[in-house]
Amino acid sequence: MALVRKNFMVDADRIKLLARRLKVSESEAVRVAVDRLLLEEEVMLHVERIRRQGGVRDVYRRTRPSQD
């Protein structure tokens, strides 16, 4: 992964808060946030694909039926 310098307008307080919570630098906090969002988007694409295909079936019958 090549790192390049970018110029963004961001909420400095929120970046500092995130960096403190993650115990990393502000730059690393931004990289982590971007990576997590990209992962979330990828996971949701797969979840949507599974939903369109009818969802997950409990072929071993290990879960209880829904109490709706």
- pLDDT tens by residue, 15-41: 999 999 999 999 999 999 999 999 999
Residues 39, 11, 6, 26, Cα dihedral to 10°:
-70
Cβ(32)–Cβ(22) under 8 Å? yes
What pLDDT is stored for residue 68 in this prediction? 58
Residue 55: both structure tokens together: 């969802």
Dist CA 36 CA 28 (whole Å): 12
Dist CA 61 CA 55 (whole Å): 15
Q: Which of 44, 23, 18, 46 is nearest to 33 (CA)?
A: 18
Binned at pLDDT 50, 70 and 90, residue 62 comes out as: confident
